[in-house]
Each structure stands twice: as structure tokens, then as C-alpha cells.
Amino acid sequence: MKLIDLTGQQFGNLTVIERDYDYQKSHSYDKPYWRCKCACGKIFSVNGKSLRENKTVSCGCLAKERAKNINFKDITGQYFGKLTVLNYLGNSKWRCLCDCGTMTEVISTHLISGHTQSCGCLNSKGELYIRKWLKDKEINFIKEYTNKDLRNSKGNMIRIDFAIMKNNTPIYFIEYNGIQHYDKNDSWYKESIEDGMHHKIDYANKKHVPLIIIKYNDDISEVLSHIDFSKIEV
């Protein structure tokens, strides 16, 4: 039977470069194999019959891209906190415009879960004050502490604003609650905030770690000054 020369022909995303005798010989194959270049740039060898019958039309990248498209959700133009989604950048990343005017890139899961709601400007003045106070006092802490067991009702991991640490173990939790925790008319109020707070309290109780809640109208310095940090190693 006369060999069908596939050199230069295109099959899906594949362009045939040349006959691959070495690959065929090293694998003891009887049928001819051809070196092909995929549209993504990868070069590999394919059985000629698979090419002619369109069983192989890419190096595998086409199937991966189709799988992504099946699960792809276009969120262009949607709002997440202070972020407006402008366009998709690939690799699950979106270009967003913050209300403060800053452009930022955020991955899909962080937007949809509510993990990221601004370019960073949404960090409350209260949290910034607490962080500075702890640093000035040289208190060992972790910002946005989380744990695999710290989850909300939907099973998503949540964070406690501050964990005061000793020997890599939390001995105090500090949570700063803005007005959105108490005023349902506030633009940032969500039922998920109440749910998350409930689970933070429950988690702290189970771990026997005191959870200190500082409200938006509290004197932060006064509350912090009443915490006994004397036994904490700085």
C-alpha cells in the first residue's frame, strides 16, 4: 500500500512537520507516525490514522480549553464589593476597577466568594489601627488567621482579623466589627456577615481561645490595653 504523505497538512490544531521514523522505530510501531506541531507550540508524534480520522486534533490543549469553557462563567460588568469587573485576562484572572480608581487583578474564586472586595483600600481604619498598635507593642500576631476547621455555613473558609500567637498557637483572637455588622441598612451589610461571625465565635469557643470583639464605635486603644499580654513571648 502506498504511503500517504501527510507533510504540511493540517488536522485541527495540528500541522504535520515530517515523518517520524525514530519515534516509530523506538516504539516498535508498524503504522507510520508523524511529527506534528500544535497551535500552542508543542511538538509531538501522532499515528497517521488518528490524524486522518480526526481522532487526534491537538496535543491535548484543545480538550483542556473546552473543559474550561464549559465551566466558564462570564462575570464582566458585575460588581463585587467596590470592584467592577472589566475583562477576562485568562488563567481565572479578571481585570477589575476599584471604586477608588485603582486597577487590580483578581482570580475568579476570590471575587465570587467575597474574599476580595477592593484593591485593598477597603481595609478598615479600625483594622489598620489594631495592626499598628500590636506592632508598636511588639506583639506576635497573625493577620487574617484561618484554619481548615474555620468555615461558614456554606463550607467556605473564613478568617478572623487577628490571632495573637504564642509558640505558634493562638491564645487570643481579635475581631474588628464595622458598622455593617450591626446596621442592616448599611450598604456593606450582608447576611453572610452574621453567619460568618457566628461561626467565628463557635470556633473560638471550641478551641478555648478568647475572642475579643471590638466594635466600630469602641475606643480601640482602651479595649486593647485591657488585654493581658504579659504572658506572651514577643
**136 with 220, same domain?**
yes
Query: pLDDT tens for residues 136-148?
Result: 999 999 988 989 8
Q: Is residue 119 part of a domain?
A: no
Q: pLDDT digit string (tens) for 13-30?
A: 899 999 999 888 888 888
In a domain, 120, yes or no: no
Task: Tell me the one-letter amino acid at 201.
Answer: I
Cα separation, 30 vs 63, whole angstroms = 28
Q: Would you state the pLDDT for residue 69?
A: 59
Domain shared by 88 and 180, yes or no: no
Instruction: Based on the fold, state whether residues 79 and 156 are members of the same structural domain.
Output: no
Q: Are both 29 and 104 inside the same structural domain?
A: no
Split at pLDDT 50, 70, 90, the class of 193 is confident
Cell of 53: 480520522
For residue 200, being part of any structural domain is answered with yes
Q: Is the pLDDT of residue 71 over 70?
A: no
Cβ burial of 158 (10 Å; 0-12, 13-18, 19+) is buried
Answer yes or no: is 194 within a domain.
yes
Residues 50 and 82 in one domain: no
C-alpha 144 chain-centroid distance: 15
In a domain, 232, yes or no: no
pLDDT above 60: residue 32: yes
Please check whether residues 136 and 188 belong to one and the same domain: yes
Query: What is the band of 67 on the pLDDT scale with cuts at 50, 70, 90?
Result: low
Whether residues 173 and 154 fall in one domain: yes
Boundary residue ending a domain (57, 81, 113): 113
| Residue 186 clears pLDDT 60, i.e. is over it | no
- Does residue 163 have a pLDDT over 90? yes
Whether the pLDDT of residue 123 is over 60: the answer is no
Q: What is the pLDDT of residue 234?
A: 45
CA distance 10 to 37: 10
Cα four-point dihedral sign 43, 48, 54, 55? negative
Same-domain pairing of 152 and 170: yes
Let me know whether 216 and 188 are in one domain: yes
Q: In the chain, which ranges are E strands?
A: 10-11, 14-19, 33-38, 43-47, 79-80, 83-90, 93-98, 103-107, 141-145, 160-166, 169-177, 211-215
pLDDT of residue 222 exceeding 50, the answer is yes
My answer on whether 131 and 194 are in the same domain is yes
- Asked if residue 3 belongs to a domain, the reply is no
Same domain, 221 and 133: yes
Q: If you write DSSP's letter for every residue of 183-220 in order, what string do you get?
A: -TTSTT--HHHHHHHHHHHHHHHHHT--EEEEETTS-H
Domain housing 27: 10-66
Residue 42 — left, alpha, or beta (φ > 0 → left; ψ -120 to 50 → alpha)?
beta
Report d(CA 63, CA 39) in Å as an integer: 13
Instruction: Give the CATH number, domain containing residue 143.
Output: 3.40.1350.10
pLDDT of residue 203: 96
Does residue 234 contact residue 138 with C-beta atoms inside 8 Å? yes
Q: Specify the pLDDT at position 8.
A: 93
C-alpha 170, offset from chain centre: 25
Residues 198 and 164 in one domain: yes
Q: Which residue has the higher pLDDT, 64 or 201?
A: 201
H helix intervals, 53-190: 61-71, 108-113, 125-136
Residue 5 belongs to a domain? no
Q: What is the pTM of this model?
A: 0.50
Number of domains in the chain: 3
In the β-sheet with 10-11, what is the strand arrangement from edge to edge?
Answer: 10-11, 14-19, 33-38, 43-47
